[in-house]
Structure 1
Amino acid sequence: MFKKHNIALVLGVYTALISTTFASEQSESKGFVEDASGTVLFRNGFIQRDKKNVAPGNDNNSWVQSTMVNLESGFTQGTIGLGIDVIGDFSFKIGDNQHSGNNMIPRKDDNSPYDQWTRGVGSIKARISNTTVRYGTQVLDLPVLASMTTRNVPEYFTGALVTSNEINNLALVAGKFTKNQLPDQIASDQRHLDRAVVWGAKYKINDQLNASYYGVDVKDKLERHYVNVNYQYALTDDSTLTYDLSGYHTKFEANAETYSATGITAADYSDTGIAGQKKNNNIWALSGTYKTGPHSIMLAYQQNSGNVGYDYGQNADGGQSIYLPNSYLSDFIGNDEKSVQAQYSLNFGAFNLPALNWTTAYVYGWDINLKNSNDTAKESEFFNQLSYTVQSGFAKDLKLRVRNSIYRNDQAYADQYMPDTNEWRIFVDFPVKLF
């Protein structure tokens, strides 16, 4: 009786949701073939990490050429629409890449890099009204479960995801994933993910104010919650002031990987990264951005608390699950760390150079609690990025991104996190539309 009551309640709520919507995506479907699309992205990527104050040979240099295919069918017509998506990538290394790393190139059992590798996956999908269900391998873009897309090829998750837009201005998501594959992994489940359940909602309150909440439960690893409030205020015709408040609360299980844990830990913690004790982290950030014409200036403050830093990506929880402002080469997420940032961006379109953009930023962090020490540490990063998209001709839509970070920290933190590093990232993307 209890189960029947709950089923009836769910159906009643779903019916109410559908009745409140003002349009139906499925009713506008043109067909399986008619709405289909296909693209190929050719990407050449180079990442160099010049590590200071370490033994020779510890630098990382990776150079890769990749071809990524994305084929998406439309939905069949009718009350319930069905479809199929296919994604895949083929890559090969350029040069020997013996000192590669950086999540760019997979390695063999003898630690030598692969010369070439291929990954291919697909998913099925169904849609009713404004609700879509996808099952298969996907690239996720959720604050608590986000695929790493800052390398040559993306990180994949395999499972089911439901997205619903039945109520105007309200987007709901829920899903369950059982496989996780980083960009430099060939096998589809090298992360040994048991189960990650994700849920969330984003609501557009009005044209100026948005709010969102997301959560994830990675079995035997962690439970994480994220909240965000974004408010944009128009000052003049071409000027805006945007305030953004975001934060995470994470509860790590005893066998989760928590490389920055302090307090009581297992005897073999320094070797395994597993604290053997439950740990907690809270991290929040507040930023303000003033934009006028081609200029944009952002100031941000970010702070951690708890007995561990915001350790993400090690527990099949997404290598890009950090929707916070102070995230570049370093994420400024150390145990109890506070950090401030000043950022400036310029769109050169105002100077007759359309599609050329420059961003520079400086971030400073302090009060980092260290493992097995009563001392605190500090870190800093100077960041610059130029991007340009070709506007016409044969190479139209080709995009060049050049990024540089100069990272410095205290030696005590370098031993636990990463050494002083000068990093270059150069990516050239050339998308080709198939149909």
Structure 2
Amino acid sequence: MSISPASRGRSSGAKTCAVLAVLALSLNGVAQAGQGENQGFIEDSKLSVLLKNYYFNTDRANGRSNQKDWTQAFIANWQSGFTQGTVGFGVDAFGYWGLKLDAGSGRTGTGNLPVGDDGDPDGQYGRAGGSIKARLSNTVLRYGQMSPSAPVFAQSVSRLMPQTATGWHLLSKEIDDLALEAGHFTSGTDQVNTNRDGELWATYALVTTPRVDYAGARYKLGEHLNLALYASRFEDIWQQYYANANYALALSDSQALSFDFNLYRTLDSGSARAGGIDTTAAGLQAAYKVSAHTLTLAYQHVRGDQPFDYVGFGDTGRSGGSIFLPNSVQYSDFNGPGEKSWQVRYDLNASSYGVPGLSFMVRHLRGQDIDGTQVTQGAYANKYGKGDREYETDAEARYVVQAGPAKDLSVRLRLAWHRGDASTGGDQDQVRVISEYPLDIF
């Protein structure tokens, strides 16, 4: 039987409508399945407050002023649930308040307090912000101020306050064991600024970029292996690529072995505001755990004439946290051009000895073969010598209260001794005492 062209068109149109209807119903079903546990905007909301007390003291040699202060922070975060429906909407908000307990002119620069025009640290400071969000199934889109954590674009948590960035962020977990992530950010705020429209930087180059874009994926392959791939673009500075493989294996009830490999590849891009960049940074660490003891060995190598560089936030370009390399530690990143570094680390969990919540760590790192003399133009010129080297020893003790009214209160003592050429930061002795008390309000 023949079918006229008009009939074929109606038949094709009917089939298309049927397919679209089935697809719409399927997507609606997926969305409802993904949001099946959604109770509502208010019902799923969470409010938490972190009380953070921070003593920071750096003793610097060669006539440089020391850096020292004692501060207190109140860090509040509120996360709403999502409205019910195929597409749910919500809001995340934060409020930060910092207080000076002890600080003065002549010992500023810790990154914990803003400094006024008179050279004295401010007595207090605060800021607030937030983001809106929308969820379809297991995919969430956010816009506003947030604290990014991607390996190519991450905030730092090493000071009193968190850093934030303003832009778009997408996270999708539609497929089991696979997380897809993308971001587009146009401004940043460091730890001590209160404005939301600060700059985004290349930290070591000290040049700014108008926007940062990135995308990546994390995949859990089986029980023991986790993989990650990311790419980012700092407009007119660089394109950066990242790969990670993490393998963990339990050998027995009391023994475990793990390996972690991280790789960054950075190439100049656009107008190359920082100059030419052609750098590969890689790090491999292996850890063996037996009962309460863990021994870790790590090796890191930066290949190229420039250092491995990463994001900075705010009006002054304070370094962020997107350096997922094993030898980026308390003071130094061990990321100079050509630098080869190794680390040995020992951890002790005192729970096995009848003191749950108590842990200790000590590590030693050495870096050598730094050579920045091949760069004669651009932002990295004259920052490093030839044959520069450094070493650092860190120690840490931490206790977390296990029960009672102060449950989850943690107190941590961190010590660092750094020695090296001027390009690596020179001689520094550092003491940090940090206490944190998280409160879940609801």
Place the TM-score, normalised by the shorter chain, in its bin.
0.7 to 0.9
> Map of 1:64-75 to 2, 5 A cutoff?
64-75=71-82
Query: Alignment partner for residue 256 of structure 2, among 234, 240, 252?
Result: 240
Q: How many residues align?
A: 399
Alignment partner of 2:434 out of 422, 427, 430? 427
CA shift, 1:39, in A, is 0.7
Q: What pairs with 1:342-421 in structure 2 (closer than 5 Å)?
A: 342-371=344-373, 375-409=386-420, 413-414=421-422, 416-421=423-428
Matching of residue 190 in structure 1 with residue 198 in structure 2: yes
TM-superposed deviation, 1:251: 2.0
1:382 Cα deviation from its structure 2 partner: 0.6
Contact kept? 2:31, 2:86, Cα under 8 Å: no
CA offsets, 1:106-127, max 9 Å, x none?
A: 1223443221111100111111
Q: Secondary structure of the equivalent of 2:36?
A: helix
Contact 1:369–1:376 under 8 Å retained in 2? yes
Maintained 8 Å contact 1:361/1:383: yes
Q: What is the match of residue 251 of structure 1?
A: 267
Q: CA deviation at 1:378?
A: 1.3
Q: Which amino acid aligns with 1:194?
A: P
Percent identity over the alignment is 35
Larger CA deviation: 206-215 vs 108-117: 108-117
| Greater alpha carbon shift after TM alignment, 335-344 vs 185-194 | 185-194
SS in 2 for 1:167: coil
* Residue 87, structure 1, aligned to residue 98, structure 2: no
**Per-residue displacement from partner, 1:210-229 (whole Å, max 9, x unpaired)?**
11011211222222111001
Q: Which amino acid aligns with 2:429?
A: N
Task: Find the partner of 1:298 among 276, 296, 301.
Answer: 296
Shift of 1:370: 3.7
| Displacement after TM superposition at 1:313 (Å) | 3.4
The alignment partner of 1:94 has SS state of: strand
Aligned residue in 1 for 2:49:
40
Runs of at least 5 residues in structure 1 that lack an aligned partner in the other structure:
1-10, 257-273
The CA distance in 2 between the partners of 1:71 and 1:20, in whole Å, is: 29
Distance 2:68 2:159 in 1: 13
**Local SS of the residue matching 2:424:** coil
CA contact (8 A) 1:21 1:168 kept: no
The structure with the larger Rg is: 2
For the 8 Å contact 1:218–1:317, the answer to whether it is kept is no
Q: TM-score, normalised by structure 2?
A: 0.85
Q: TM-score, normalised by structure 1?
A: 0.86
Q: CA deviation at 1:36?
A: 0.8
Match of 2:232 in 1: 216
Q: Is the alpha carbon distance of 1:88 and 1:188 closer, same or farther for their aligned partners in structure 2, counting shifts above 3 Å?
A: same
Greater mean deviation of Cα atoms: 183-192 or 63-72: 183-192
- Give the secondary-structure state (helix, strand or coil) at the position aligned to 2:351: helix
Higher mean C-alpha deviation, range 118-127 or range 193-202: 193-202
Matched letter for residue 371 of structure 2: N
The answer on whether the counterparts of 1:121 and 1:137 sit within 8 Å (CA) in structure 2 is yes
Distance 1:20 1:345 in 2: 48
SS at match of 1:320: coil
In 1, the alpha carbon distance for the partners of 2:120 and 2:435 equals 26
1:133-282 counterparts in 2 under 5 A?
133-191=141-199, 194-253=210-269, 275=274, 277-282=275-280
Tell me, in whole angstroms, the C-alpha distance in 1 between the residues paired with 2:119 and 2:279: 34
Q: Which secondary structure does the structure 2 equivalent of 1:327 belong to?
A: coil
Cα distance in 1 for partners of 2:56, 2:33 equals: 44
- 1:263 aligned partner: none
Cα pair 1:21 1:167 within 8 Å, conserved: no
> 1 CA distance for matches of 2:364 and 2:213?
36
How large is the Cα RMSD of the aligned pairs?
Answer: 2.5
